Structure 1
């Protein structure tokens, strides 16, 4: 009888021990699942932070791009025309202009001026606004300079600005095409643009009759 009680007691102990282990195992599994879920959430949060950072970076780059475009859009291009005619082709140096004139058989028009000279600036505006001059100028090799030329043949009656001189393809400076002022033969005022236009036509006419 005692053996029977003992067997039952041992069986109960074994069952209790098994239940305790099983409960602990389930608890560990639950903790492991919670930990995995926490890790998953952390990974999602990091991914979201990464995407947000990339998004901000992209927005920043876009803003920089727009700023660069705006700056480029407001920047005025620098050309050899210096405002005398942006749609005309201008030479960079006197030597280049002479070479181009000789090989194209077109007369050269040299404009000597200064950016800080009010007379030069006034003539420039009148020259650029005169449609007939701008159209006829396509038949010339054009050069405008803001310094005194090294070729003494261009000095003619002295150094002054504004000054417009014509040179034919044979490299002869046309001193016989002056303006109307006796003290400065090759200068022009804004109201002299019609005379300048006629002198341009004269330079083309002499090219046809003399060369």
Structure 2
């Protein structure tokens, strides 16, 4: 059910498991947003409702394949910790599944480049990626 795949990040957003998401991204030529979190992490618990409540993230999510990975699932890929395994962290992938290392949190000046504690920072990166992969009908 989408409740299980949403994990508190908003059931109105279409979250897919990693393999299904990567397959769909390649098939439809859409970029991927991967949100990595842990069930025991306080920062993650504070961040999740911000994502779930953001109408802007919901709107932009339709241009992406949306994936969230909890706990040990991130270990399915060895390239999902480009600058460390802190959480929450958010990576963007091209439709072939390659991490777009250049898409970082450019608003918040954190040493952890893929850390987005605030919705406006995440929205900025989502817009940046959608401009790289415009929707076509």
Q: Which residue of 1 aligns with 2:13?
A: 88
- Whole-Å separation in 2 of the counterparts to 1:80 and 1:95: 13
1:7-22 aligned within 5 A: none
Q: Which residue of 1 aligns with 2:128?
A: 202
Q: Which residue of 2 aligns with 1:107?
A: 31
Q: Which residue of 1 aligns with 2:22?
A: 98
> Which runs of no fewer than 5 residues in structure 1 stay unpaired?
1-76
Q: Which residue of 2 aligns with 1:122?
A: 46
Whose helix fraction is larger, Structure 1's or Structure 2's? 1
Aligned to 2:16, the other structure's residue is in SS state coil
- Whole-Å separation in 2 of the counterparts to 1:167 and 1:160: 18
- CA 1:134/1:100 → structure 2, altered by over 3 Å: closer, same or farther? same
Larger radius of gyration: 1
Aligned to 1:154, the other structure's residue is in SS state coil
Q: TM-score, normalising length from structure 2?
A: 0.86
How far did residue 195 of structure 1 move?
A: 1.4
Aligned to 1:166, the other structure's residue is in SS state strand
Contact 1:181 1:187 in 2 (8 A): no
- CA 1:207/1:78 → structure 2, altered by over 3 Å: closer, same or farther? closer
* Aligned equivalent of 1:187, options 115, 118, 134: 115
- Whole-Å separation in 1 of the counterparts to 2:128 and 2:58: 16
How far did residue 78 of structure 1 move?
A: 4.0
- Whole-Å separation in 1 of the counterparts to 2:121 and 2:110: 15
Aligned residues: 129
Whose strand fraction is larger, Structure 1's or Structure 2's? 2
Q: TM-score, normalising length from structure 1?
A: 0.58
Q: Which residue of 2 aligns with 1:79?
A: 4
- CA 1:78/1:87 → structure 2, altered by over 3 Å: closer, same or farther? closer
Aligned to 1:134, the other structure's residue is in SS state helix
> Which runs of no fewer than 5 residues in structure 2 stay unpaired?
none
Q: Summarize deviations over 1:109-164 as a string: whole Å, max 9, x none.
A: 00100122110011111111111111111211111111233212221111110010
